[in-house]
Every structure is written in C-alpha cells, then in structure tokens.
Amino acid sequence: MQPTVKDLLLSGARLTDAALERLLPATDTLPHSIHRAMRHSTFAGGKRLRPILCMEAARMVAGTGTYPEGIADLGAALEMLHTYSLIHDDLPALDNDDLRRGQPTAHVVFGEATAILAGDALQTLAFQTIAGLPISSPTTVAILRDISLAIGTGVGRVGDLDTKLPPGMIGGQVMDIEAEGTAPTAALVEAIHRSKTGALITTSIVSGGLYGLSLRHRSSSSGYSNDEPTETKASRAAYAPYADTIARLRTFGEKAGLAFQIVDDVLDMTQSSEELGKTAGKDTATTKATWPAVFGIDQSLHDAEELIADAFAALAPFGEAAAPLKSLAQYLVERKN
C-alpha cells in the first residue's frame, strides 16, 4: 500500500527535525543569544517541504525504496537555508514582518542585530553541513555547486551543470523589492517566483537526486576514473550518464516550485492571518508582484494545476517510484496554508 501524503509529510518532517536537532548548536552553547535565535526560527513550525522533496527525490533515484543514509542532513541544510532567507526577509528593512508560522519573528524576540547574524550563521551552518555529508567528494562538490547557484543573485559563472538557470533566491528577493510600487507584469512576476522560491525548491530536488545517484553510482562498476581530475571534470564525468535524470528532476522542481508559489499568493489573498500563521493580505497591502494580481485568482489556480501536470510528465520514466514526489506536488497546490 502506498503511504498517504500525510504519512510522507509526517515521517519526512520527523527525520528532518531529528537532523536539525543534532546539527544546530544547543541553546546553552556560547554565545547563547544567536543559538537561541537560530533554533527559535528553525523550530517555529515549518512544514519541511524542501527537505521532504529532497529526501523523496533521493529515494526515487536511488531505487532502493528506502531513504539513503545521511540524506536527512542534506534536507536539514536546505531547511537552514530556507530559514535564513525567512529571517532576513522578515527584517524591518525588508518585509518588516512580525509574525511567521504563527510565531513572533526572530528580530522581534532577539533584536535586529542577532536576527541578522542568526540568518548569516544558518547560511554558514548549511554549507558546513554539506561539507560533512557521508558521500563521495565529487558528489558533495556537485551538490555544493547546485545549491550555491540556486541561492545566489544571478546565473552562475562557475561551471554550472545547466546554463538555463534563472537568477537565484537572493536575486529574486532583490527583484521583489525593486518591483514594489510598480505595476507587475507577467514576465516579472514569473522571474521573481522562479528565483525567489522556485530556485531553492528546485535545488532541493536536484541535490537530493545527486545524492541518490551517488549511491547507484557507487554500486555500479562503471565508476568514473579518479586520477585526480579537476573537480569540475570529475563532477561532470560522474553525472554525465545521468544528465537526463537531473534534467527531469530540474523540470519537475521548476514546475512544482512555481505552482507552489502561485498557490501561496492565492492563499495570501483568500485566507485569514490565523489560518496562514502569518500576516494575511500583506502582498496586496504593499502592492507586491503576485500571480493573482496579474492573472486573477481563477486563472492562477488553473495555471497551478497545469504546472503540476507538466511536473508529473517530467517524472513519467520513473513509473511507480515517482508516486511519493507526485503526491507531494499535488499537495502543494491543494493545501490550505
């Protein structure tokens, strides 16, 4: 019997939380204030969607039916990056949000200085966690490259696996700020969504796939040679046979990520603050560039459904093994908060 999406969400969140609990310094580690702030925002009730997508992509690609050993640490690193972006996004100088996931935001509880540094430290800890993943070094480097490209400002200049990447997460935040007060166009809203939230969701799935592939790779006899090539060559050589798999995961992530953000925009317009756990109607109040602002709510929901269909199509060759990722994608557009 296939597990329900609720099962997947619960078990994935539990694994992620256990990894975060282990990886984040304890609140009694000096200096106290920043570790309290890091934990406050990390354990404020997030759904762990990015880690869960990462773990399911790894499981699907590894073909073993179980989560690959250590994958929760990669999931935790992605959640740290997501949390860092939220802490900084909520700062008074940016979105000035006092409430997130039903909790007061970090700067409200710990002050701006500590909130800024806690975000910085979560980014750093994510990369430290990646450095400690129990996988081969070429895979670690490939994951490092994909994730760092996804959360930066622009198209990568350093041997990217895919040159058609949109600007990264920070680039999306800047575009979002720059767009405030201007009339949003469809192209701009799509660019912001693809980068601000889509890029991290996509790399969650792609990095999970790279992680899962490294296990298949290890057990196959067609291992790449290891006469100390440059890392770029090594990573490329290692993943060349899997280019189609990576491209399909990327397409799935891009489509599902955009659908997710469109639904987020719609929920912001239609749900109360209590239902959302954050300040509702904020996007409208500040004339943010959102999908329903350009296309209306009905068209937005239709677009989200179509994107999910495209996302499903990308996973067709994986057959039954794709069921968990597909049910998660379906959940992304049907959720109510």
Q: Which of residues 5-24 bind a second copy (CB under 8 A)?
A: 22-23
Closest Cα partner for 198 from 238, 223, 168, 164?
168
234 or 314: CB nearest a second copy: 234
Task: Say whether the peptide bond before residue 166 is cis (omega within 30 degrees of 0).
Answer: no
Measured CA to CA, the distance from residue 188 to residue 37 in angstroms comes to 34
The verdict on 232 binding a second copy (CB under 8 A) reads yes
Q: Which residues, numbered 172-211, are part of the site for a second copy (CB under 8 A)?
A: 173-175, 177-178
Question: Which residues 71-130 are close enough to bind a second copy by CB under 8 A?
Answer: 84, 88, 91, 93-94, 111-114, 116-117, 119-121, 123-125, 127-130
| Distance of closest approach, residue 4 Cβ to a second copy, in angstroms | 34
How is 196-219 classified by DSSP, letter by letter? IIIHHHHHHHHHHHHHHHHHHHHH
Q: Which is nearer to a second copy, 164 or 336 (CB)?
A: 164
Least distance between a second copy and beta carbon 65 (Å):
22
Judged by DSSP in three states, 109 sits in: helix
Which CB atom, from 196 or from 278, has the smaller least distance to a second copy?
196
State which residue, 129 or 202, has the beta carbon closest to a second copy.
129
Binder of a second copy out of 74, 135, 276, 328 (CB under 8 A): 135
Closest separation between CB of residue 190 and a second copy, Å? Answer: 14
Q: Which is nearer to a second copy, 93 or 183 (CB)?
A: 93
In the bound state with a second copy, the residue whose beta carbon lies nearer, of 70 and 277, is: 70
- Least distance from C-beta 189 to a second copy, angstroms? 15
- Under 8 Å between Cβ of 184 and 69: no
Q: Are 12 and 56 in contact (CB under 8 A)?
A: yes
Could you say which residues in the range 143-172 bind a second copy, by CB under 8 A?
Answer: 144-145, 148-149, 151-154, 156-159, 167-168, 170-171
State in angstroms the smallest separation of the CB of 54 from a second copy. Answer: 18
Phi, psi of 104 (to 5 degrees): -65, 140
Contacts of a second copy in 19-58 (CB under 8 A): 22-23, 25, 29-31, 33-35, 38
Q: Is 243 in the site for a second copy (CB under 8 A)?
A: no
Q: Are 121 and 185 in contact (CB under 8 A)?
A: no
**Total binding residues toward a second copy, as defined by CB under 8 A:** 72
Helical segments of the chain, H only: 5-23, 32-42, 49-62, 71-89, 106-110, 112-131, 137-150, 169-179, 186-193, 199-219, 231-239, 243-270, 273-276, 282-285, 291-295, 297-314, 323-334
Interatomic CA distance for residues 4 and 261, integer angstroms: 23
Closer CB to a second copy, residue 158 or residue 316?
158
Alpha-helical (H) ranges within 44-136 are 49-62, 71-89, 106-110, 112-131
